[in-house]
Structure 1
Amino acid sequence: MVLVLGAPFGAATAALAARCLPSGTARNARAEVDVRGALLFAATTLAVLLPLVTSLRGAGLAYCAATTGVLAVLTVLHHRRTIRIGGVPLIAPALLHRALYLVGAAVAATQFGAQMAASLALTMFVQDGLGLSAMSAAAVLLPMSLAMVVTSGLAGRAADRFGPRLVTAGITLSVCCLLGAGAAAQHASPRVLPFLLGGAQLALGAAVGLLTAPLQAEVLRHAPPRTAGVAGGILQMGQRLAAAVSVAAISGLDLNDRPRALAELRLAYGHAVVACACITSLGLTLRLATHHLRPQTNQRHFPHP
């Protein structure tokens, strides 16, 4: 149900876009859309999510895994066939040959997915484990949003000064904040714990605010200029897909480990944030492993007022 909450907003956005956006000047031009590729990709995504949001076991799980594999193969074959016959594939072929773009998109996906999953796990823990109301739970999460607002405005100047190191430091700080929140949940008293978790959210929001815009700008800078629009769309799609998979997996893990005792609720939340930290660390590892491929430049990438 969590993943469906955004559906009304998506439908409203699509309706407003169809009504308000200009149709363009080239009326005779026909836009080519890889409908089959999009449907195959959507079906593959659904097959990946299904075991995470249901209680499939045994033969059902094996059948779902086999279906996922078949759909993935069909998606790849269709993509290659579309290129061979001169069509327009869902993903621009030029992007698949840009290693730094692919790595950067993967790093952004892991960061965004882990962030969304960790926020959900925290919300579930403070409400079910600590007994906070919905408004009190929102107050625990509020410092993250406030910190992101402040540090996002500073990200451009910080990126000009520190370069790619800013993104690496931000991801590292994110991992530390997640692990710190998990450790606090294991040992702090219920009276103090909401304040400690709020402090961890404040630091996490500062890290995310500093790294998000520089990371996205860095990723898109490695895409061919003619594919900039597609590159941005693929980047956003990858982040949303990672969020869907991470939220489904982490919430399933958290719910499966959710007994009544507070001590075990603490442990369940600890498992969830450690999993999120591992996802973020995977992106950090990819970034560090490709550091030698990244050109060092002092060029300014963000306009300043």
Structure 2
Amino acid sequence: MSGEATALQEQEGADPRRWKALTVCLVAGFMTLLDVSIVNVALPAIRTGLDAPQSDLQWVVSGYALTFGLALIPAGRFGDMHGRRNAFVLGVVLFTLSSAAAGMAGDPTFLVIARLVQGMAGGILNPQVSGLIQQLFRGAERGRAFGMLGTVIGVSTAVGPLLGGALIQLGGGPDAWRLVFYVNVPIGVLAVVLAYRYIRPPAHGRRPRESMDPVGVLLLAAGITLALLPFVEGQQWRGPEKWLALLAGIVVLAVFVAWERRYGRSHQPVVDLSLFRRRSYALGVLLGTLYFAGFTAIFFVLTLYLQNGLSYSALEAGLATTPFAGGSAVTAALGGRVVTRLGRSLVVSGLLVVAASLGVTVLAVLLVPGEHVGWAIALPLVFAGLGSGLVISPNQTLTLSEVPVPVAGAAGGVLQTGQRIGAAMGIAAIGAVFFSEVASSHGDYALAFRHSLLVTIVFVLISLVVAVADVFASRRSGLD
């Protein structure tokens, strides 16, 4: 059968509005993922405008990531059970309202609470996007759709500082940081209207009554919270006893796994552990967790280096991340189109490019450590972005390729939870290296940034080992 005939067969019975529905999902997903990094450049303005202590600023950033990660898996399960459009719209509405509340905040506590709700809303919304892609697309079209999602994930994180800096520059006054949150409101309203127009509601008919597995949800939430708390509070909670929380989190997560095995014998658990028997899924989740530990932290330490170390403005610091975003946008879309032919070897190539490019970035900072460093690192960051686009999008496609559609939301939630956990741990670990080097070197931000990037490269190389292992395992199974 020809490729054209196969494509036509795949499209039979497909929702004719699927590409418009995808566009709505991607715009809303971009908005929530953007808020992971857009706030970084606004922190100095928030500190001044609200007289916020460092502890509250830490929670403005990390609290969002924490509640985002907590909501992903149960929200994915909820969408699988009750309809992904309903869960998607709920997430968008809640995100829009909490963004408006964050913009109106009159004190740091109110802002932190709004950010916690905002993160939870993002966690409700995002697993519906990957679930809807599984539901609406088949074959090569699914690869293209995941390629577009990969573009959104990569670009949103990288372009956040640029957009945040531009909005603060546009506002110009002491309350300019509020635009970082207000910008979400009109986008959210439009997304709700278009979601009802283009996303097909769940099919009617009686469905078997299923439980949300409340015990599993509570155990999972407690385990993730305890495990992430030492990283979220890394700069404020300095005593060694904080690692007891991590240990407790691991124990609770072990109890969660035991409960899910028992519960899954007669009911549908919140996480279908049988998914991890699929090599593509298990290794893809691990790879995504490790890569996001390094990838997300790049922009965190780069922003600190440029703004605190070199007195760049918020806009100038944001512009320095643009090369990475541009490179990622180009190859993420391309990777989605060719991943079904090239498989995990495409991810291996991307990781090699990222590691090499970050190594060149370290060298560029060493040779040009002054105010012109933004120009010196532009080209290696372009190549790092090109490599990253070949990692995130293809890994998403390959990880979810064998997942049954009825559990696609929860499966996507697990994948994204791994990415959020990786991002939180990476920012904490790499940020700790950065701050430690700044303190020990008496303010040598260039040295701190270089050492931070070396730790990032280590995370990328460990991800590479996982990807290579999957390639060899796939080849062995093909020979059997």
SS class of match (1:57): coil
Q: Which residue is 1:4 aligned to? A: 63
Distance 1:169 1:26 in 2: 46
CA RMSD of aligned residues (A): 3.0
1:74 to 232, 239, 255: 255
The answer to whether the aligner puts 1:34 opposite 2:213 as a matched pair is yes
Q: How many angstroms does 1:56 deviate by? A: 3.8
SS class of match (1:257): helix
**Which has the larger helix fraction?**
2
Distance 2:260 2:336 in 1: 37
Q: How many angstroms does 1:95 deviate by? A: 0.6
- AA paired with 1:34? D
CA contact (8 A) 2:344 2:471 kept: no
SS class of match (1:290): helix
Structure 1 pair 40–257 and aligned structure 2 pair: CA distance change class (3 A) = farther
Deviations 1:71-124 (A, max 9, x none): 23322222222124x122222132121123201221122222311111111111
Relative contact order: is structure 1 or structure 2 higher (C-alpha 8 Å, sep ≥ 6)? Answer: 1
Distance 2:443 2:243 in 1: 34
Distance 2:120 2:345 in 1: 39
Q: Which residue is 2:366 aligned to? A: 186
Q: Which residue is 1:57 aligned to? A: 239
Unaligned runs of 5+ in 2: 1-59, 65-114, 126-187
CA contact (8 A) 2:285 2:418 kept: yes
SS class of match (2:396): helix
Unaligned runs of 5+ in 1: 297-305
SS class of match (1:88): coil
Q: Which residue is 1:104 aligned to? A: 284
Distance 1:12 1:67 in 2: 27
TM-score (structure 2 length as normaliser): 0.55
Structure 1 pair 75–223 and aligned structure 2 pair: CA distance change class (3 A) = same
Distance 2:365 2:334 in 1: 31
Q: Which residue is 1:124 aligned to? A: 304
2:227 to 32, 48, 61: 48
- AA paired with 1:75? F
TM-score (structure 1 length as normaliser): 0.83
CA contact (8 A) 2:224 2:253 kept: no
The residue correspondences of 1:259-298 to structure 2 (distance < 5 A) are: 259=439, 264-295=444-475
Q: How many angstroms does 1:168 deviate by? A: 0.7
CA contact (8 A) 1:259 1:265 kept: no
Distance 2:238 2:219 in 1: 22
Q: Which residue is 2:331 aligned to? A: 151
- AA paired with 1:3? S
The answer to whether the aligner puts 1:250 opposite 2:430 as a matched pair is yes
Q: Which residue is 1:299 aligned to? A: none
Distance 2:428 2:317 in 1: 20
CA contact (8 A) 1:83 1:89 kept: yes
Q: How many angstroms does 1:212 deviate by? A: 2.4
Structure 1 pair 29–234 and aligned structure 2 pair: CA distance change class (3 A) = same
Distance 1:163 1:78 in 2: 34
Structure 1 pair 131–262 and aligned structure 2 pair: CA distance change class (3 A) = farther
Structure 1 pair 62–73 and aligned structure 2 pair: CA distance change class (3 A) = same
CA contact (8 A) 2:275 2:282 kept: yes
SS class of match (1:258): helix
Q: How many angstroms does 1:10 deviate by? A: 4.3
Q: How many angstroms does 1:61 deviate by? A: 3.2
CA contact (8 A) 1:94 1:224 kept: no
SS class of match (1:294): helix
The residue correspondences of 1:158-197 to structure 2 (distance < 5 A) are: 158-159=338-339, 162-197=342-377
CA contact (8 A) 2:323 2:378 kept: yes
CA contact (8 A) 2:290 2:460 kept: yes
Residue identity over aligned pairs, in percent, reads 26
Distance 1:262 1:198 in 2: 27
Range with bigger deviation, 103-112 or 252-261 = 252-261
Q: How many angstroms does 1:2 deviate by? A: 1.4
Distance 2:440 2:309 in 1: 8
